[in-house]
A = this chain, B = another copy of it.
Amino acid sequence: MVDIARLAGVSVATVSRALNGHPEISVATRERIAELARSLNYTVNAGAKNLRTKGNRTVAVVVPRDPAAPQPISDPFLLAMIGRLADALTSRGYDMLLSRTPADQIAALHASGTAVGIVQLGQWHDTGSLEAAARAGVPLVVWGAPLPGIGYCCVGCDNREGGRLATLHLLDQGRRHIAFIGDRSTPEPAERWQGYREAHEARGLVPAPSLHLTETTDLAHTRATVQALLDGGAPIDGIVCCSDILAIAAMSAVRAHGLRVPEDVAVTGYDDISWASHAEPPLTTVRQPIEPAADALVAALMQQAAGESTASVVLPVELVVRRSSGA
A25 at the B interface (CB under 8 A): no
Question: Are the CB atoms of A280 and B278 closer together than 8 Å?
Answer: no
* Least distance between A121 CB and chain B CB atoms (Å): 11
Interchain CA distance A46-B43 in the complex, whole Å: 20
The A36-90 residues at the B interface (CB cut-off 8 A) are 41-48, 50-51, 56, 58, 61, 63, 65, 70, 72-74, 76, 79-80, 82-84, 86-87, 90
Residue of B nearest to A83 (CB): B73
Q: Do B113 and A45 touch (CB < 8 A)?
A: yes
- In the assembled complex, how far is the CB of residue A23 from the closest CB belonging to chain B, in whole angstroms? 23
A107 to chain B: which residues have CB within 8 Å? Answer: 41
A110-130 vs B, Cβ < 8 Å mask (1 yes, 0 no)? 011110000000000000000
Contact A41 B74 (CB under 8 A): no
Pair B80/A82 contact, Cβ less than 8 Å: no
**CB of A95 to closest CB in B, whole Å:** 6
Query: Is A96 engaged at the interface, CB distance under 8 Å to the other chain?
Result: yes
Q: Which residue of B lies closest to A45 (CB)?
A: B113
Interface size class for chain A?
A: 35 or more
A147 within 8 A of B: no
Give the distance in Å from the alpha carbon of A150 to the alpha carbon of B219 in the complex.
Answer: 40
Q: Which chain B residue lies CB-closest to A49?
A: B112
* A69 → B minimal CB distance (Å): 13
Report how many copies the assembly holds. Answer: 2
CB atoms of A90 and B65 under 8 A apart: yes
Residues of B within 8 A of A74 (CB): 80, 83, 274
Contact with B along A86-107 (1 / 0, CB 8 A): 1100100001111110000001
Residues of B within 8 A of A65 (CB): 87, 90
Bound-complex Cα distance A50 to B43 (A) = 17
* Minimum C-beta distance from A11 to chain B (A): 21
**Closest CB of chain B to A129's CB: distance in Å?**
13
Please name the residue on chain B nearest to A57 by beta carbon: B114
Query: From residue A35, how far is it (CB to closest CB) to chain B in Å?
Result: 16
A97 adjacent to B97 (CB under 8 Å):
yes
A248 within 8 A of B: yes
Q: A45-B51, A46-B112, A90-B100 are in contact. List 17 more A-B contacts (CB 8 A).
A: A45-B113, A47-B47, A48-B51, A51-B51, A58-B97, A72-B291, A74-B80, A74-B83, A74-B274, A86-B98, A90-B99, A95-B99, A96-B98, A219-B277, A248-B275, A252-B278, A255-B280
Give me 10 A-to-B residue pairs in the complex whose CB atoms sit less than 8 angstroms apart, sorted by A's number: A47-B51, A73-B83, A82-B82, A82-B83, A86-B100, A87-B100, A96-B99, A248-B278, A275-B275, A280-B280
Enumerate chain A interface residues (CB-CB to B < 8 A): 41-48, 50-51, 56, 58, 61, 63, 65, 70, 72-74, 76, 79-80, 82-84, 86-87, 90, 95-100, 107-108, 111-114, 136, 219, 223, 248-249, 251-252, 255, 274-275, 277-281, 291
